[in-house]
């Protein structure tokens, strides 16, 4: 009985965290849209536009900071939730959608952080991305092709920033929202199942007490 109660508590925590994840995802996307109104996806222009957002646009620094915090928090909480689901021993087939959507959301959140690496056009981001390109190029068969797709077929330039900006804004962000919604829906369905199981257990206990 203690293990059953413990599993239910972990299941409830996982559901709460999925609500937090979706909220953070919506904050991340909405602040990203606001930032995009003044962001310039070019080499050099990216850095200047973000500095302008931080210093000249009304509440721009707040949106920029909220965007960064939400992105980092999404990754951390998504990883914590996977651990909680694992500890809750939710390995039944009915949990397949929750597991798949949760894992793919985590990968999407990491992808958002990865593609944002060079979007601020700082020296740290530039050299980090340069190292990452070396790792990508080392992938057998497709490494060089992937590197050319990301960079635009040459060195890191404005075309590279534009490619990553497009991936970041129009593909991975949309995927992250979809996975977050599916993940929350799957866990809410599990909550309804848990409620039904609890009612059935209560009814069985009542029937047992009446017959005894």
pLDDT tens by residue, 48-74: 999 999 999 999 999 999 999 999 999
DSSP string, the chain: -HHHHHHHHHHHHHHHHHHHHHHHHHHHHHHHHHHHTT---STTHHHHHHHHHHHTSTTHHHHHHHHHHHHHHHHHHHHHHHHHHHHTT--SGGGHHHHHHHHHHHHHHHHHHHHGGGTT--HHHHHHHHHHHHHHHTSTTTHHHHHHHHHTSSSSSHHHHHHHHHIIIIIIHHHHHHHHHHHHHHHHHHHHHHHHHHHHHHHHHHHHHHH-
Least confident of 60-64, 187-191, 202-206: 202-206
Structure tokens belonging to residue 92: 């039944």
Could you tell me the pTM of the whole model? 0.88
pLDDT at residue 3 tops 60: no
pLDDT at residue 184 tops 50: yes
Side-chain-facing half-sphere of 149: CA atoms under 13 Å: 9
pLDDT tens by residue, 116-131: 999 999 999 999 999 9
């Amino acid at each position: 009985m203690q293990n059953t109660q413990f599993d239910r508590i972990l299941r409830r925590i996982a559901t709460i965290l999925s609500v937090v994840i979706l909220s953070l995802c919506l904050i991340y996307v909405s602040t990203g849209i606001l930032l995009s109104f003044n962001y310039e996806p070019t080499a050099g222009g990216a850095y200047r536009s973000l500095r302008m957002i931080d210093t000249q646009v009304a509440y721009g620094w707040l949106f920029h900071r909220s965007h960064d915090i939400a992105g980092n928090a999404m990754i951390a909480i998504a990883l914590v939730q996977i651990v909680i689901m694992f500890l809750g021993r939710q390995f039944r087939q009915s949990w397949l959608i929750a597991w798949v959507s949760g894992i793919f959301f985590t990968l999407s959140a990491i992808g958002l952080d990865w593609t944002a690496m060079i979007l601020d056009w700082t020296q740290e981001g530039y050299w980090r991305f340069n190292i990452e390109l070396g790792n990508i190029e080392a992938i057998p068969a497709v490494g060089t092709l992937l590197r050319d797709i990301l960079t635009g077929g040459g060195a890191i330039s404005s075309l590279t920033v534009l490619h990553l900006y497009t991936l970041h804004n129009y593909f991975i962000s949309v995927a992250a929202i979809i996975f977050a919604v599916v993940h929350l829906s799957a866990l809410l369905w599990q909550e309804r199942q848990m409620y039904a199981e609890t009612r059935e257990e209560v009814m069985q206990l009542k029937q047992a007490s009446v017959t005894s």
